Amino acid sequence: MKKLLTITTLLATLFSFNVFAGAQDIAKTFNASSTPAELVKSGWAGNDGGKGYKILQVIVKDSKKTAELHIDHSGKVIAAFDSIQTTKINDDFDYKMSATLEDWADMGTGESGPMYHMTFGGLSFEGPMGEAMENMGPFASFLVNIGKNIQN
């Protein structure tokens, strides 16, 4: 019985494995970068509609692989989930980004910027477009971070 339970646990772990190295890894890399300070300086981090954090959702198209990050006024990730926690984001403050696994991996190289991927590279984007455009440098860094944490 104990062996069956162990095998069942192992199989459940393997089948629920997320394509991301993990939302916690993404958060750790993000928080250790210069991006949080840039987001505070630009005012991006404070534009949260009064809830105390912004939501960034990352979705791999044609799969069930997702991540959700909550970023507070310090510009740092305060919560990271390997699934979508918020069913409806507020497009005035929060972001939802979707791309195929191949497109996420391409973004991880940093060779093409966010505008390329939104125009030609398969990145779907929901959220405050003007705010994102004003923060293109940090946005590009975020996309590279996500792309680097994609596992084949």
Delimit the domains of the chain by residue range. Answer: 20-148
| Helix, strand, coil percent content, the chain, rounded in steps of 5 | 45, 20, 40
Query: Which fold, 20-148?
Result: Nonspecific Lipid-transfer Protein; Chain A (3.30.1050)
- Identify the pLDDT of residue 13: 31
Report the pLDDT averaged over residues 66-73: 94
Contact 108, 144 (CB under 8 A): yes
Look up the pTM and report it.
Answer: 0.79
- Identify the pLDDT of residue 151: 53
Q: Angle of helix 23-32 relative to helix 136-148, nearest 10 degrees?
A: 140
For the cut 80, the answer to whether the pLDDT of residue 9 exceeds it is no
- Identify the pLDDT of residue 2: 37
Q: How confident is the model over 80-136, as pLDDT tens digits?
A: 999 999 999 999 999 999 999 888 888 888 888 778 888 887 889 899 988 888 888
Report the pLDDT averaged over residues 73-85: 95
- Identify the pLDDT of residue 21: 62
- Identify the pLDDT of residue 115: 80
Strand (E) or helix (H) holding 66: strand 66-71
- Identify the pLDDT of residue 52: 96
- Identify the pLDDT of residue 17: 37
- Contacts of 59-62 spanning 24+ positions with Cβ under 8 A: 59/84, 59/96, 59/97, 59/98, 59/99, 60/19, 60/98, 60/99, 60/100, 60/101, 60/104, 60/150, 61/98, 61/99, 61/100, 61/122, 61/124, 62/100
- Identify the pLDDT of residue 69: 95
- Identify the pLDDT of residue 150: 66
